[in-house]
Structure 1
């Protein structure tokens, strides 16, 4: 279960949920077949990224102490690699089906760009995640690109409100990846991976985490005041208890790998509840 990471799949679901919620708020129309197809495809594409990341990490030796790596568990790297590719093929087939229904290649084009960012994050020869750029790639892939694709799949138009909403989703998603580095500084250094926590140190990383977490709620309030979001999106502040728990936990344990290792799962809870309530706010505020 630790290898499959079921909670992490909210990362794939939330951009589609929020983008679709904004579309419904603006058009009062929801195509449930497209929404369901997009959700299934997004989950499969994220499965590809998780599986392929295990494969590429096994090649650098960074996962030597990661007992829940699927490559380490199975001892069969080619199997994991091709299972990942199969997930990618079926995921892209779902997105292509949406484009075929609409006779419009925009959505498949955006998602192919997302996949490209996912590959250069960890795949050779790029491995930009090893250069500390993973959070930036994550922000754009799961924020502006994925949310815009979900919005476009419902409306076949672009939207400033959807783009602005995607900033909140992108930051919340990037926090999960950021938190995943705190407990593996030694392994990252040994493999030559310059993650943000390796560059900043765990103490400063904990401070950056707090600022970025606060920014999610501050941005929501600012965009409500500016009229981009309905006031109901402030429901996302209901996730604040998880955000406070995350920041306190990391501040207290940032330099204790065994204790801080679960912080990414608290970040998943922040992401899930914040984005769920955020999207609900659009539905209630149309």
Structure 2
């Protein structure tokens, strides 16, 4: 249970995955500054220790190793929270994997992302895209599988494991850090688009079916033939699936507020440190969603600007 110095009825407990760096680290800082106990979860324990040291001004930050792709690691963090704090109030699924590498000028990735965003703004109308940076986006089966495992299955694994602890909270919140690249408009596969965008009949099993179909087509070199995204495919599918699962989870747990949010295009390891936003600026939107008052939205996907305007 909680230490005697805190008041269990008032103290809030938050777990942030992938929190040893980047946006996750800044989410920890912002939530800790508001007085809640923050569990800084890091896959690499050494890097987690270094991150905890950078937050040494806060005595309410606790480190725990967590690999969202490892069921045993997820079970261990559940046992830790249950024994030490008794419940969980906020879960932020921030751990992420871009699923690609860049061979050549890394600013190429920023150009592709900018082109996708322009496509969205234009309502799905494509302009001819000719990147200026020299190089190519490298997407491998191994990279795609790791991306899907972290961004979708990992987040889902953590949610399912920690639901019993969140159910003990008076105001449970789950925030899935997602991406605008997961928007349905960027899914050219009409079958996948139809499944993930239809609320009627949408289920966890249907979302899993889309993800598995993508992986099967990738293994059989049918990504182009089956009209999956022409670039950043695994990342886009993983985030689209996460957005859909967010809605499914919200229907299962109507007392929770469960939302997905794009923090914006920030300078992190995932983006090769390109982007207009700092890590601290990008953390603002997930923190806002984590602190939504009772009666707030649930089951939705928000872009950064939409989240901050709530």
Instruction: Provide the TM-score with structure 2 as the length reference.
Output: 0.30
Structure number with greater CO (CA < 8 Å, separation at least 6) is 1
Instruction: Provide the TM-score with structure 1 as the length reference.
Output: 0.32
Considering fraction of residues, name the structure with more strand. Answer: 2
